Homo-oligomer: A and B are copies of this chain.
Amino acid sequence: MSDMMKAIQDEYADDYAWCYGCGRLNEQGLHLKTYWDGDQTVTTYTPREVHMAIPGFVYGGILASLIDCHGTGSAALALHRKNGHEPGDGIEPPRFVTGSLHVDFMKPTPSDVPLKAIGTVEEIHPKKWKVTTRVFAADTCCAKGEVVAVVMPDTFKN
């Protein structure tokens, strides 16, 4: 990816940029960032040493978090593109929340390598998008995920 590209999370409005998984304003968060790569989406993340299941292997809750924010971020990228916009063009993107999350843990995920989540986005309703994700550690697919992401409802607004 070009250094010029922006992640969708760089573009969320400040009020919606506090997510522990992907909020740029959450200092202690994971700072997951999701980009277009052609017509797929990509989030790369290297777990912290403490994020282990047992020593040497990544904790499933971190993989679930990666798939979760990659899902909402991918859906936001896709709806933003459908609306004629790309990250960096100065238009605030839509903000999604997770309706459901499914993860199949295929193989133990080794620590110490960057994880790459690759997503495919499908519109199933104008406000509901499905993101299918594979998570790779080097060349090994260690987990598969599916997120149904929905445009943030008013019940989330304070």
Contacts and interface: CB of A to CB of B under 8 A. Distances in A.
Given A20-B61, A50-B26, A51-B20, A100 B107 contact: no
Interface in A1-48: 15-16, 18-21, 23, 26-29
In the complex, the count of this chain's copies comes to: 2
Contacts of A27: 50
Contacts of A59: 19-21, 65
Q: List the 8 shortest-distance A-B pairs measured between CB atoms, nearest first.
A: A61-B65, A64-B64, A20-B59, A28-B50, A101-B103, A60-B98, A102-B102, A100-B104
Interface of A: 15-16, 18-21, 23, 26-29, 50-57, 59-62, 64-65, 68-69, 97-105, 107-108, 155-156, 158
